[in-house]
Structure 1
Amino acid sequence: MALASLNSSRALAYLTERGEDALYAVKGILGGSGSSRYLDTGEDKLAAVQAQLESSQDVERLEGLKRVVAMISKGRDATPYLASVFKLSSTTSLEIRKLVYIIVLRYAPAHPDLALLSINSFQRDLSDPNPLIRGMALRALIGIRLKVVSAIVLLAVSKATRDAHPYVRRIAAFALPTCYQLDDSQYDTLLAHLGTFLQDRSPLVLGPALLSFAELCPDYWTLLHRHFRKLCHALVDMDEWSQPTCAQVLVRYARANLPQPQPGVDVDPDLALLRSALANLLTHVNPAVVLAGVHAHVAVAHTSDMACVIPPLLRLLQGPPEVAYMAVLNVLALSESQADHFTPHLLHFLVGATDPAYLARLKIRVLVRLATEANASLLVQELVTYAQAAAESVATDSMTALGQVACRYDAIAPQALHLLMDVAQDPSLPSRTLSRAVQVLKTLLRVSSDAAAASIVARFALRLFVPLAQRGRSADAPRIRILLDPDSRAAVLWMLGQYCLAPLADETLLTCLVPDMLRCLVAHWAKEPQKVQCQALTLSAKAFVHLDSVGDTAIRTAVMVLHYELLSLGSSSADSDVRDRARFYSGLTRGLFQDDDLTEDTLPDDIQAYLASHRDLDRFRLPGVRLRRAQVQHVLFARDLSETSPLEQLTLASMSTDELASMSSVTDGVHLVGWRQAQLPPWSEPEARPPAIVRMPDPTSLKPHSSVSAQRPSGAWLEEKRSFGSDTVHGDGRHAERVVLEPCVTLSRTRAVPQASARYEDLDAFLEAESNASASDAASLDDPAAEDEEYVVDSSSSSGLDDDL
């Protein structure tokens, strides 16, 4: 045993040592202790930043810039170093320039004067051979946001619209709304540039172009007519952050220019093309794209074609809580009109042990929405288990949901009452959850028999006061938990007054329990909260109006005296609600005293004097209409339809598609940026729709250039039809790039490696290639480049859409 333990210890030490060696090797490759060392912003480290930025060595400058970026990431002010940073904008190091541009983009809006010091450098970089530098320079120039440079910015954007690389054109497309903010008088010029970007053949440019369209002219459909089909084909290849807005724009176009789908009628070919493009978004890895695809499909499809959006929403339930919350919110909105589609998937919406409170509460609302008569019994058993949830909000909502399901299906009401009684007996139940259970019981008693209601009310009424709870119980019996929450105490008093004539053990609640309850209320009047005092007055008035059904004189006398005492206490209360209710019940029951057949000779002297004082008080009151006993009973026991039931707290207002798309349902009605673009127009009338011929594709934006297509084998464009990524930034073949990046256009991976390895045979070949590249720097930017062919639509693919023309 000792030898085995020694061997295992040696093995652990050996593996630990090898692991540390590997870790140090990785850190050495990445540079010291990794990027975390730049987050050390101590005073001694920051003191050397200025010297590093002013150094003549690129290594020192790079270290200083990384320190500045780390300061920005931690929220510290890097303003003292801006002057030194902006001076580095003309350096030849790509790494330094990238960090400089990052800092410029961060501080240019707040310090435009300092940013103007580098504007010449930005303009010079717009002609750099590297497209990455050209794009970053354009971004920095746009980020200055000064009206004095609006002309320079517009000129740079105009030049970038003809750039050979899609990355630069992409940034120029993003810049159009900013240019409009700087100078709105150039609106027509910006629309012309937008039309140029919409004619582009690269999905990298088409996505930002549609984003600018949504900002500049969201309803100018004439600009989109000839590009609609191309955009539908390109939607799947756009970057994931452009796809939601682009899908939104295409959906708004469809509702304004295409016929609404009808059941049993063939779908319009253009609308079918859009729905086919939207179907590809439902399988995306980005949850935002999936939800955008769901919203778009709901907006353009008929209600009978919603089955395809269910699997993507169920898949999102397995993601992070925030993503699952948005998915459940969409399910809740869709289930309002199409609950049958989600009912078979009820188990997916059961609350998990690790679900946060906001997600669990929303899932409970979905469970209530999807409840049917077939699954109601199992659902109430599931809901009652949530009463033990750690979050009180989840526990209380589960009790309310149980009551909603039980009220909807009367067959399970007895089961729900039994489960609620078991929950209420739990001594560890939080007070708020117990209070909500009592309030739900109050609502469910309406569907139960009088005998069952009397038994339930009696059990809860004994838990209001200690003397009542200990009556008839032995000293060693378990103690009963007293209800202390004002809401639960008020609910029990309401139930006791509403069912005071319910039979209980050959008697009624009025004769066996109400007198003692009124006596305890009078004794503890000053300790009761306002809500309980109001219900105590209501209980007293209801008991007083039913005294004609009581044969025992002692009980009738006790109830009458206690009633007048409660009215006297309520009339002198400092709370206006209690005082007004006491005066109302006093006037309501005033006329019933003469109808009483009590013989005063049989009453004690003190009681006779007490009743005489109230009779004298009535003589001084203004005369008014005195109601008969039946009329008073109708007033007190009529169902108050205006009373808000606690079960209504889980009822959601109807959510429109516009509210769901604009996120106003999540932000409590606060509209986020872009909410106007999320509003969907109504389906157009037939006389207002343009003919389908206006959507004929533009040949200039679909047909590949002859010189480029001649260099490509058939079908090569399919391999390059993809979104922008880190592998798409590369230099134009006509320029000599300072930094060689990974090329985007490759015919095949099997041919790319040998071609790259055999590119230069010796040093002379390399120098000759450099001289040839320098000689071609003067080539016009208007010439088409290979990158323009990242997305090409075969003109034959759209022939089926024009059969109706």
Structure 2
Amino acid sequence: FLNSGGGFDRKPQMFNQFGSTAETLSKASAVVLRIGTDAHLYDDPEDVSIAPLLDSKFESEKCEALKRLLALIAQGFDVPNFFPQVVKNVASQSPEVKKLVYLYLLHYAEKRPNEALLSINYFQKDLGDPNPLVRAWALRTMAGIRLHVIAPLALAAVSKCARDPAVYVRRCAANALPKLHDLRLEEHAPAIEELVGILLNDHSPGVVGAAAAAFTSICPNNFKLIRKNYKKLCQILPDVEEWGQILLIGTLLRYVVARHGLVRESLMLSIHGLANNGFCEKDGLVRDLTLDSGDSDKRDSFDANLVSLVSKSYIEGPDEYLSRSNCPDTASSAFDSKETTSIAHNEDVKILLQCTSPLLWSNNSAVVLAAAGVQWIMAPLEDVKKIVKPLLFLLRSSTASKYVVLCNILVFAKAVPSLFAPHFEDFFICSSDAYQVKAHKLEMLSLIATDSSISSILREFENYIKDPDRRFAADTVAAIGLCAKRLPTIPTTCLDGLLALVRQESFAGDLASVDEEAGVLVQAVMSIQTIIERDPLSHEKVIIQLFRSLDSIKVAAARATIIWILGVYCSLGHIIPRMLTTITKYLAWSFKSEASETKLQILNTSAKVLVNAEVDDLQMLKRIVVYVLELGECDISYDVRDRTRFLKKLLSCKLACHEPPEEETVASQENIAAHVVEHVFGRKLKPFSPLALHNRFYLPGSLSQIVLHAAPGYEPLPKPCSFVFEEDSDQLSDYDRHREATADLNGSETGDEDGSSEYDTESSNGSDLSSDGDEKTTTNDAADPLIQISEIAVSSDQEEVRSKKALDLWLDDLEKSGSR
């Protein structure tokens, strides 16, 4: 084992042999893991032994061939040439072979519709098979063949299976209804909706969940079907599968709103009933009675205008809502008292709140959000706080849905910040959080900060500013400005820190790193601007400090913001007006070296300074402004040149020498120009309204609330009390249908079709137990004309297609052509 250097080789050749042995063992272990599975079916995609296996006499070989076909389909291969041989095996007695044949037919039925029609007769026979799995597979295949010619037959099959004694078959019937509805069979729409009502009355939670999905996609506004089964649906809601619970909760909520309207004691209508509910309004916030009787210091507060906007957004459609979003007075209209209800006298609302309350602790995040949405919209004001702890638990435990939960919590916090104010620590940033989650948590902290919690929040913000992710640090600085604007007790503390940050970042900022350190500097300046807007007169020295820092600040966006502040507050106090000449000279001196956005602000600020200048400095300022305008006219940026020409024309009355006018028309034109200049450059800033920017609210838990626009399929809540039900007419129609059904049953009896089983009798007698009008529903179901659909008159072509003889002749012709 000596090497070329005369020493011993520490890795002799035998170790290489061991390495190759280890690789062989790893391959062998992979092969062992495949034993007992169907993974070997994917190894030979060009297997030519499939056709003989399909014609084999042994069921195991047929099953092997069908599995190979499905493996080829899964790998993207197109194998329609085996269709005739697969169709022959639809008559197999093996359940496994039948299932594989049905999967193959579902895949190629639309591509080979004529051949698929030949197997309809076998599907109808399988609908009467004693095995419920076979009946369900046959129904799934018939509904999956999207052909209008067999739609009546498929509808008859669904009608039959909707009354099947097996739960799985009835669930497959519910899942098949949306497929039939997609065929746009207008003449069968009432029959499909009636089947939805039958399945909604089922006693099995699995069937009810599938029926709720069918109701949502077929007839989401047919609330008569819900009214008949409302209490039963509420009782069975906790037992329905999780994804069915989401749809069923939304359906029940829509029914209650359409039937009874919104609850007067709820948060959504609290703004419209201030005089009756004991609220008081002050400073734009409406304060409720103490939620916890033992804690008299904690009082719930909410923004009345924002709550009203949220309630209107839930009710209005996307088009109407977007058209109203630009309306300046969004809370002017109130709900009619006839469109509201009281929870004390409405049992339907009580039942809905009771059955959704336990679902706040569901394992499914979407179920929690759906249940929280019901409590948020319909629960009394003092019970809304029940949604807080489940949402916070969901925020901590579910990493995958953290962003979605935060988007919905943000809406709740915007309307009622005090709901989450005691739990501000739950929104502290984790190092593993994604950037979008961090941004939402910062917004939450700025919304729910109070005088008692702001000190802890600001200490957290100090650590966030040091984060290596400078975009996140910039967002933190913006959050500090929002906190300072909301809480009047902390602006001084925040200003000191922000000014220190401006001095620190001004040396680190660079034109080449606008997205990094420069972003923090820009946000710091904008946060200072936000604080100044709250009380400009007391922050005159802060504006002067910003002006003195212009020499050290190199970021164009930050310089433009500071110059804008100087222009807006050029007439503020006693110090700034005396510095206007110095400020204007500095801006004129630095104009050539500035970026385009800074040059535009210099032009605007020069115009504002000229308008608000005192008489003593007017002549000097005129010469400086004229010099700046001349520089702007020669600039390489066309935006700067256009702005310069506009300002030069607008300020012509101010820049001209004051001489007595020769004509009255000239004087009147100068007065008009002076008035326009005063209006454009001399007006005060309007108070900032957050509703103008954040007024897009959608139902809690919906995709639209995440993407902030009406996603495809989004439906707002129906108009309150839009569903008016007449009891007398409904009872009369039920009586008429019952009488007609009884007459039909007594007048004629039809025999069962070929291939039917003893389950037909059981399905007609195995109706579900229900209260009130359920007996009528059962009787109507027994005489439902849908059962007679399979006996409709068919053409001779269809009769020939359905015959077994046609199938045999067609297969014989294929075999002969193949032998040739």
Q: Which residue of 1 aligns with 2:775?
A: none
Deviations 1:780-803 (A, max 9, x none): 4323799x79x97899xxxxxxxx
Q: Which residue of 2 aligns with 1:532?
A: 598
Aligned length: 633
Q: Which residue of 1 aligns with 2:558?
A: 488
Q: Which residue of 1 aligns with 2:241?
A: 239
Question: CA, structure 1 residues 502+246, in 2 after alignment: closer, same or farther (shift >3 Å)?
Answer: closer
Query: Distance between the aligned counterparts of 1:110 and 1:432, measured in 2?
Result: 57
> Is this contact kept in 1: 2:481–2:527, CA < 8 A?
yes
3-state SS of paired residue (1:638): coil
Q: Which residue of 1 aligns with 2:703?
A: 663
Query: Distance between the aligned counterparts of 1:257 and 1:50, measured in 2?
Result: 60
Question: CA, structure 1 residues 332+454, in 2 after alignment: closer, same or farther (shift >3 Å)?
Answer: closer
Query: Distance between the aligned counterparts of 1:295 and 1:622, measured in 2?
Result: 64
Query: Distance between the aligned counterparts of 1:87 and 1:539, measured in 2?
Result: 86
Shift of 1:152: 1.7
CA RMSD after TM alignment: 4.5
Q: Which residue of 2 aligns with 1:45?
A: 45
Give the percent of matched residue pairs that are identical in Structure 1 and Structure 2. 27
Query: Distance between the aligned counterparts of 2:552 and 2:408, measured in 1?
Result: 43
Shift of 1:519: 1.1
Deviations 1:244-267 (A, max 9, x none): 112222222323345765559635
Q: Which residue of 1 aligns with 2:189?
A: 187
Shift of 1:148: 0.7
Q: Which residue of 1 aligns with 2:785?
A: none
Query: Distance between the aligned counterparts of 2:466 and 2:84, measured in 1?
Result: 61
Q: Which residue of 2 aligns with 1:256?
A: 258
Which consecutive residues of structure 1, in runs of 5 or more, have no partner in the other structure? 1-16, 465-481, 598-620, 695-776, 796-805
Q: Which moves more between the two structures, 626-635 or 563-572?
A: 626-635
> Is this contact kept in 1: 2:234–2:351, CA < 8 A?
yes
Q: Which residue of 2 aligns with 1:374?
A: 452
Q: Which residue of 2 aligns with 1:739?
A: none
Q: Which residue of 1 aligns with 2:272?
A: none
* 2:711 alignment partner AA: H
Question: CA, structure 1 residues 565+332, in 2 after alignment: closer, same or farther (shift >3 Å)?
Answer: same
Shift of 1:146: 0.4
Question: CA, structure 1 residues 253+546, in 2 after alignment: closer, same or farther (shift >3 Å)?
Answer: closer
> Is this contact kept in 2: 1:503–1:509, CA < 8 A?
no
* 2:706 alignment partner AA: V
> Is this contact kept in 1: 2:482–2:530, CA < 8 A?
no
Which consecutive residues of structure 2, in runs of 5 or more, have no partner in the other structure? 1-20, 266-341, 510-515, 660-665, 732-755, 773-820
TM-score, normalising length: structure 2: 0.66
Query: Distance between the aligned counterparts of 1:491 and 1:778, measured in 2?
Result: 82
Question: CA, structure 1 residues 404+80, in 2 after alignment: closer, same or farther (shift >3 Å)?
Answer: farther
Please list, as runs of the form range in 1=range in 2, the aligned pairs for 1:464-613 lying within 5 A after superposition.
Answer: 464=553, 482-483=554-555, 485=556, 487-498=557-568, 509-510=579-580, 514-521=584-591, 523-524=592-593, 528-529=595-596, 531-544=597-610, 548=614, 561-573=623-635, 577-587=639-649, 589-592=651-654
Shift of 1:342: 1.8
Query: Distance between the aligned counterparts of 2:466 and 2:110, measured in 1?
Result: 52
Matched, 1:277 2:317: no
Question: CA, structure 1 residues 166+399, in 2 after alignment: closer, same or farther (shift >3 Å)?
Answer: same
> Is this contact kept in 2: 1:251–1:299, CA < 8 A?
no
3-state SS of paired residue (1:218): coil
Question: CA, structure 1 residues 502+298, in 2 after alignment: closer, same or farther (shift >3 Å)?
Answer: closer
> Is this contact kept in 2: 1:261–1:300, CA < 8 A?
yes
Question: CA, structure 1 residues 324+590, in 2 after alignment: closer, same or farther (shift >3 Å)?
Answer: same
Matched, 1:442 2:529: yes
Matched, 1:350 2:329: no
Query: Distance between the aligned counterparts of 1:362 and 1:506, measured in 2?
Result: 39
Deviations 1:289-321 (A, max 9, x none): 222222233343223221222222122213445
Question: CA, structure 1 residues 250+494, in 2 after alignment: closer, same or farther (shift >3 Å)?
Answer: closer
Shift of 1:500: 5.6
Shift of 1:232: 1.6
Q: Residue 546 of structure 2: which of 452, 457, 476 is its match? A: 457
Shift of 1:153: 0.7
Query: Distance between the aligned counterparts of 2:584 and 2:161, measured in 1?
Result: 87
Q: Residue 286 of structure 1: which of 351, 364, 368 is its match? A: 364
Query: Distance between the aligned counterparts of 2:398 and 2:579, measured in 1?
Result: 53
Question: CA, structure 1 residues 516+262, in 2 after alignment: closer, same or farther (shift >3 Å)?
Answer: closer
Q: Which residue of 1 aligns with 2:670?
A: 625
Q: Which residue of 2 aligns with 1:197?
A: 199
Query: Distance between the aligned counterparts of 2:367 and 2:450, measured in 1?
Result: 32
Question: CA, structure 1 residues 794+438, in 2 after alignment: closer, same or farther (shift >3 Å)?
Answer: same
Deviations 1:313-366 (A, max 9, x none): 122213445522222222222233332222112222233222223333333333
TM-score, normalising length: structure 1: 0.67
Q: Which residue of 2 aligns with 1:636?
A: 681
Please list, as runs of the form range in 1=range in 2, the aligned pairs for 1:659-738 lying within 5 A after superposition.
Answer: 660=700, 662-673=702-713, 675-676=714-715, 679-683=717-721
Q: Which moves more between the two structures, 630-639 or 534-543?
A: 630-639
Query: Distance between the aligned counterparts of 1:177 and 1:637, measured in 2?
Result: 63
Query: Distance between the aligned counterparts of 2:139 and 2:156, measured in 1?
Result: 11
Question: CA, structure 1 residues 197+55, in 2 after alignment: closer, same or farther (shift >3 Å)?
Answer: same
* 1:375 alignment partner AA: S
3-state SS of paired residue (1:306): helix
3-state SS of paired residue (2:521): helix
